[in-house]
Amino acid sequence: MSKNKDEIIRETFDHLVDLAEFALEEGEARYLLRELNSQLSAIHQLEAIPLDEDLPPASHGVPYPQDRKQPLREDLWDACKDASSILGQAPQTEGGYIVVPDIPHTDLD
Amino acid sequence: MELCDCNALDIRKMLRDRNVSAVEVLESCLKRIHQVDGRPGALDAGEVSKEDEQRVHAFITLTAESARESAEKVDRMLTAGDDPGLLAGIPFTVKDIFCVAGTPSTAGSRILANFRAPYTATPVERMCAAGAVMLGKVNLDEFTFGSSSESSAFQPSPRNPWNPARVPGGSSGGSTASVAAGEAFLSLGTDTAGSIRQPAAFCGVVGLKPTYGRVSRYGLIAFGSSLDCPGPLARSAADAALMMNAIAGVDNRDATTASVPVPDYLVELEKDIHGMRIGLSPDYFRITFPDAQSGNYREQAVPDAMRDAVLEAAEVFRALGADIIEDVPMPNTRYGIPAYFVISRVEAASNLHRFDGVKYGHRTAKEVHELKELYRCSRGEGFGLQPKLRILMGMNVSAAQYSEQYYQRALRVRTLIRRDFEAAFDPQGKYRLDALLTPTTPTPAFPIQDVYGDSVLMQYADQLTVPANHAGTPGISFPGSLDAEDLPIGLQLLGADFTEDLLLRLAHAYEQATADAPWRKKKLRILDLEKL
């Protein structure tokens, strides 16, 4: 019996994990699902707060009036001085390309 | 007194007067590290030994050789009569969430354990350009996700130098532990919900969260892009001011830095606090805790020790000529954690999508046949539980069917939190505060393993610090006293946008007024050096 209407069920959880692109052990999955639902009960406290219809969202706290914003820079490209330091980070490279396995393919009937 | 236990400003004077060399200062710090730090955090570290339990474990990577080169360069410049810079010869540590060229920059995570950054974060670059000596990278909660530093993939995780059975706090636990233990004079940390201020309170040091946009985030491995603030950890307000002089200011590589002039924080420090208006809010003397049994949330008063420390500090400020204004309402404080659960997780999920095993960092060694399998195995192996938890919650609350109910609503609650601060600090308003005085944390440092695993309880450690992150406003934590178990109690001052100078000034005045307090003479347990 779920504690609240938006409790994440296992099916939803598995879908989220699929979207998040990480493999999980079963023990991890059980811990994560439990903690997610525990956090949701904290998040539900937001629903009871009366909000005026015209209250705007704040994507960040500090405002940026004109005298605080930086001017846009010139649209000039500046070549990377040391591409090898960046490519050298990649686990597998070939001829200046990063090598990865093929993308998944699906046969269309 | 050992050199490493002095303040950075005193060391700076000694260096310039040629009473000591930069190499001698560095050697003092390295000796302290050798005495108290124990083995550095590492992957697959095995069991924690009895000796581990008595050590600080602040470090992941100690860069002693390059530190020596930097110190020698400072000494050559001083000998030649050249100006070696504002922070010349001062050893500092860097929370391992910052990219530093050529060093492992791990974020405390297996997924970046093999990552050597190809560039250096702006705040680190500025400190090194000012002549500071980088000692190395210190440990943290994985990707800064936590309030105890226990979630790091690099174990043993840091311990509290005041009592090594306790956490140092988090996520900047390595930073605060290294400064408190005398391993470094300064540290560069970050604060997203309180991750500078809370560990500063737990470890008895000064920690400043600047205004959002005051210090560049270029080179900071991102958690919450609208919340993250790099800032200083130090043993005094004056030392924090010195560090702010070096790191604050606009950066054209970070469009969110504000082009607001940077004052000389050291000059501002010494100004009179007479007539400054310091508020007390009942909303910061109440705390919320989830009840493990019922799943409900109950409100209670902050513990007496925290409340008394704040009220005594108010009396100190009153005696110095400040006006204390009581009953300042900050009614949306209690929604800080619920709103943070939503906003920070959405941003974290987005910021962590880039770690995919393709371009850098951990790639699975398993044989995989297609790209998505590469992602799943690499991310599954590389991320610990705390990043996975945040990614999943972020995706849930921003999903199309829930976005209005959770994410958009949380952003509107954020507006309410911001308005609390605007009303309190409005120069034409009812309260016209210069600062709000509060406890930093609901409790002192808790025992290791006591809270870890309960992600809700752990997050609620930040309930008194997180509102300032939502609002973008600055906040400082500074030592107030010790409790009955000799654990530090932190005091917090919150201010209006870009008033770090006022907060530092007030913290400095408090330090000066309580310089002879008996609790300031107590020794950290980790420094019981006869036992070493």
pLDDT at residue number A48: 87
List strands edge to edge, sheet with B133-138: B59-62, B133-138, B91-95, B186-191, B229-234, B206-209, B475-482, B488-494, B435-439, B277-279, B323-325
B178 a catalytic residue: no
| Structural tokens at position B466 | 């997180």
CA-wise closest residue to B189 among B113, B276, B104, B98: B98
- Residue B530: pLDDT band (50, 70, 90) is low
How far is Cα A109 from Cα B470, in angstroms, rounded to an integer?
Answer: 51
pLDDT given for residue A1 in this prediction: 33
Phi, psi of B436, deg, nearest 5: -115, 130
For residues B395 and B417, what is the distance between their CA atoms, to the nearest angstrom?
A: 24
pLDDT at B292: 66
Name the pLDDT band for A53 (thresholds 50, 70, 90): very high
Q: What is the distance between the alpha carbons of residues B17 and B13, in angstroms, rounded to a whole number?
A: 6
If you measure CA to CA, which chain A residue comes closest to B387?
A32
Residue A54's closest chain B neighbor by CA?
A: B412
CA B439 centroid distance within chain: 16
Q: Which of A21, A35, A57 sits opposite B408 (nearest CB)?
A: A57
CA distance A7 to A34: 10
CA distance B27 to B33: 10
Q: Tell me whether B369 touches chain A (CB under 8 Å).
A: yes
- What does the H/E/C string look like for B55-119? CCCCEEEECHHHHHHHHHHHHHHHHCCCCCCCCCCCEEEEECCECCCCCECCCCCHHHCCCECCC
pLDDT tens-place string over residues A16-26: 999 999 999 99
Q: Cβ contact (<8 Å) for B402 and A64?
A: no
- pLDDT for the residue B527: 87
Using DSSP's 3-state secondary structure scheme, residue B413 falls into helix
Please check whether residue B228 is in contact with residue B97, taking contact to mean a CB–CB distance below 8 angstroms.
Answer: no
Cβ pair B414:A103 closer than 8 A: no
Structure tokens at B217: 């985030």
Helix (H/G/I), strand (E/B), else coil: B39: coil
Q: Note if B49 is an active site residue.
A: no
Nearest-10 crossing angle of helices B22-36, B8-16: 140
Sign of CA dihedral B156, B159, B164, B170: negative
- Rounded mean pLDDT, B415-419: 98
Q: Long-range contacts for B47-51 (Cβ within 8 Å, ≥24 apart)?
A: B48/B155, B48/B156
Q: Write out pLDDT tens, residues B345-404.
A: 999 999 999 999 999 999 999 999 999 999 999 999 999 999 999 999 999 999 988 888
Among B255, B196, B250, CA closest to B225 = B255
pLDDT one-digit tens code per residue, B476-526: 999 999 999 999 999 999 999 999 999 999 999 999 999 999 999 998 989
Q: Mutate which of A7, A8, A39, A106 to disrupt the B interface (most B C-beta within 10 Å)? A: A39
The answer for B209, left when phi > 0, alpha when psi is -120 to 50, beta otherwise, is beta
Confidence of residue A3 (pLDDT cuts 50, 70, 90): very low
Q: Estimate the crossing angle of helix B385-398 against helix A10-20, to 10 degrees.
A: 100
Which of chain A's residues have a Cβ under 8 Å away from the Cβ of B405? 6, 47
Report pLDDT for B289.
83
List the single residue in B371, B388, B469 with the smallest CB-CB distance to A32: B388
Query: Chain B, 199-218: which have a CB under 8 Å from a chain A CB?
Result: 211-213
Least confident of A59-73, B84-98, B433-447: A59-73
CB pairs under 8 A between A and B: 191
3-state secondary structure of B394: helix
Give the integer Cα–Cα distance in Å for B236 and B102. Answer: 31
The ipTM (two decimal places) reads 0.93
Phi, psi (degrees; rounded to nearest 5) at B468: -65, -25
pLDDT digit string, tens, across residues B325-348: 999 999 999 999 999 999 999 999
- B497 in A contact zone (CB under 8 Å): yes
The SS3 call for residue B411 is helix
Q: How much helix, strand and coil, in percent to the nearest 5, is found in chain B?
A: 40, 15, 45
The values of phi and psi at residue B130, to 5°, are: -85, 5
Can you tell me the distance from the alpha carbon of B532 to that of B523, in angstroms, rounded to the nearest whole number?
A: 15
Q: Which residues contact B111 (CB under 8 A, 6 or more apart)?
A: B355, B361, B362, B378, B379, B382, B383
User: What does the block give as tokens for A30?
Assistant: 């059980």
B171 catalytically annotated: yes
Average pLDDT, chain B: 96
Distant-in-sequence, close-in-space partners of A81: CB < 8 Å, separation ≥ 6: none
